[in-house]
Structure 1
Amino acid sequence: MTVHILKPGMLSSLQDRGRYGHQHLGVSPSGAMDERAHRLAHLLAGNTPEQDLASLEMTVQGPSLRFDEPALFVLTGADLDATLDGQPVAALRPTLARAGQTLSLQAAKPGHGARAYLAVHGGFQVEPILGSQSTHMRVGLGGFEGRALKKGDQIALARPLPKDETVLSRLQAELDELRIYLPAALALSPRERLRVILDQADLFTDESLVLFQSQHYRISPASERMGYRLEGQPLRRTSSEELLSAPTCFGTIQVPNDGQPIVLMADRQTTGGYARIAQVASVDLAQIAQRVPGQSLGFEVVTVEQAQALAARQEQAFTRLNESLESLRQALKRCLA
């Protein structure tokens, strides 16, 4: 009833949508860097949105793993050139793995994302901590022993499929007939400029506000799950007075004293005292999560109302996709019965 990690990849960890409700205690939410891809993977694996099970987040260089039991899995996000026993695996499609088969993932193709997600039907057997299965590696909390996966790890499947080949063949036939239509709002169309809402704009000079919206930043090598450091012409504040620490969010853009912005990511600190020039709109968080150091990005200012409309459109698309996958869930229910 386990998945064996044969090769761990560069950085592979279990992540769900995050550990919320504890920031006042100093506990960072953590969670999937590309929540959109994580949610897609679970819907396409026949899981319901209410479950919020962990997926395996894989970064830049994918792992190799062996299924000891039959399982239905889905890959989303970056293209890691996946194969199952040497046969190509299509992304965004439910794939049936038999006991003993090996799933191998390679390095991300340039320009095709940085993080991929593997979801299995029923999820992994991982004990939630503070209501979440997410791994926060900096503090060793949650996921699989609070850390990234390593060679030899064995992760149990919560609901392995039956071993009966007749049942599996029938399920495979239904999967072959399954038609999946992905709403456009859920696709990750690369954007040169991320949409942001200005925050403490009054703390910055007029020239810096123009510069923030016009220049392109290079993502620094010193970028990871806690934050992405950006390199460009420095932004200047109107005064150098110290600021009180304030709560932070996924996508908060802080500007330290050197004038180089930092975009806070999934493993961010819960509060910060740097000036906050803007907040990345939630629909564009996946855009930066799928970029790697050395790539560039810019920013485009939108209103709160525009950002909310974009988020609502994405949620409506997730609802439509969920409703369209009822036939998949029914096929899996029959198989498990």
Structure 2
Amino acid sequence: MSLRIIDPGLFSTIQDLGRVGYQRIGVPPSGALDTLSLRMGNALLGQAQGMAGLEMCRVGVRLVVECARLRFCITGADGTATLDGQPLAPWRSHTARAGQELHIGRIRGGAAYLCVQGGFALAPVLGSLSTYTRAGLGGFEGRRLDGGDLLPLALAEAPAGPERLLPHPVPAERSRPLRVLLGPHAEMFTEAAIRTLLSEAYQVTHNADRLGIRLQGTPLEHAGAKEIVSDGNNTGCMQVPGDGQPILLMPDRQTAGGYPKIATVITADLHRLGQVLPGSQLRFEAVAPEQAEMVAWQLERTIAASIGSIQDLA
């Protein structure tokens, strides 16, 4: 009842929708970089959207199935996947038998997800299976996967039934500017800095991981002090250190920090941060809080419609 890892890929970890309620003691939420893709994968398998999946970044895993029957799907960034050398399509379920080899190769995007029916037989830590590697919390032994690991499965044999297809995944909208709320420290930046942020493109540097994404572009000028008394951080906040180059905070970020935050990516666009790559260009668009709430509601309606389109295959 396990998946035997032969090649773990570049950085593969178990992630769910995050560890909520522990920032006050210094524990970040962690969780999937692209929560939308994880949710859709679980919905495709007919299970709770928040169940933990295997998150793979840039390069996927190679593993051997060690259970009677495994039903799984692959969602998120495009990539190449094979089962015993036969190509697999994304956004649909597949079934593997004991001894078969699943190989997910190069991922042409940020994060991809392997969701399995029934999930993984792992114990939650602080209410979540999400892996926070810096503290060794959650997931599989609190770390990224390694060759030789036996990743335990909750089901020895997936129930018989037809495969399922998601014909209409939610569009990725990669070319659209990321929508932000200005603040909470926008007043600590010059008007020119705000105009620059909302009019120029910023390049994603190679210093980008689950903690944060460092951007490079025209420096954002502080109006005065370049540091603050440390206060709380959220995923999607844009910190600006003294050099004026912004940093987008990701799920494993510190829970508090002393750099002023010029803007915050709205909830409905956070999943898009999980698909950015070094060298790509990001643009930002300011919206009002009321608009951010409306967009979040619209996204949930789109997700519901997409899940409603799931169909059984003959």
TM-score range, shorter chain: over 0.9
Q: Output the amino acid matched with 1:198.
A: L
Q: Output the amino acid matched with 1:189.
A: E
- Contact kept, 8 Å, 2:204 with 2:280, in 1: the verdict is yes
User: What TM-score does the superposition give when structure 1 sets the normalisation length?
Assistant: 0.88
Structure with greater helix percent: 1
Number of the residue aligned with 1:334: none
Deviation, structure 1 residue 322: 4.6
Secondary structure of the residue aligned to 2:137 is: coil
Q: Output the amino acid matched with 1:125.
A: A
Task: Quote the sequence identity (%).
Answer: 42
Structure 1 residue ranges (4+ consecutive) displaced by more than 2 angstroms after TM superposition? 178-183, 316-325
Deviation, structure 1 residue 192: 4.3
1:2 aligns with 2:2: yes
1:188 aligns with 2:179: no
Deviation, structure 1 residue 187: 2.1
Number of the residue aligned with 1:97: 96
Deviation, structure 1 residue 318: 3.0
Number of the residue aligned with 1:160: 156
Question: Aligned runs of 1:6-21 on 2, under 5 Å?
Answer: 6-21=6-21
User: What TM-score does the superposition give when structure 2 sets the normalisation length?
Assistant: 0.94
Whole-Å separation in 1 of the counterparts to 2:56 and 2:17: 15
Which deviates more from structure 2 when the two are superposed, residues 123-132 or residues 305-314?
305-314
Deviation, structure 1 residue 237: 1.2
Provide the aligned length of Structure 1 versus Structure 2: 311
Number of the residue aligned with 2:122: 126
Deviation, structure 1 residue 288: 2.3
Which of 116, 132, 138 pairs up with 2:134? 138
Whole-Å separation in 2 of the counterparts to 1:229 and 1:147: 23
Number of the residue aligned with 1:56: 54
- Contact kept, 8 Å, 1:191 with 1:287, in 2: the verdict is no
1:292 aligns with 2:277: yes
Whole-Å separation in 1 of the counterparts to 2:137 and 2:226: 36
Query: Cα gap change, 1:228/1:101 in structure 2, threshold over 3 Å: closer, same or farther?
Result: same
Deviation, structure 1 residue 317: 2.9
Secondary structure of the residue aligned to 1:213 is: helix
Query: Cα gap change, 1:269/1:33 in structure 2, threshold over 3 Å: closer, same or farther?
Result: same
Secondary structure of the residue aligned to 2:206 is: coil
Number of the residue aligned with 1:68: 66
Structure with greater strand percent: 2
Question: Aligned runs of 1:287-326 on 2, under 5 Å?
Answer: 287-322=272-307
Q: Deviations over 1:45-79 (max 9, x none)?
A: 22123xx2210000101110111111110100112
Number of the residue aligned with 1:80: 79
Secondary structure of the residue aligned to 2:283 is: strand
Deviation, structure 1 residue 256: 0.7
Whole-Å separation in 2 of the counterparts to 1:241 and 1:276: 10
Structure 1, unaligned stretches of length 5 or more? 332-337
- Contact kept, 8 Å, 1:220 with 1:294, in 2: the verdict is yes
Deviation, structure 1 residue 266: 0.9
Secondary structure of the residue aligned to 1:105 is: strand
Structure 2, unaligned stretches of length 5 or more? none
Number of the residue aligned with 1:29: 29
Q: Deviations over 1:105-157 (max 9, x none)?
A: 11123xxx221000001101110000000000111111000000000000111
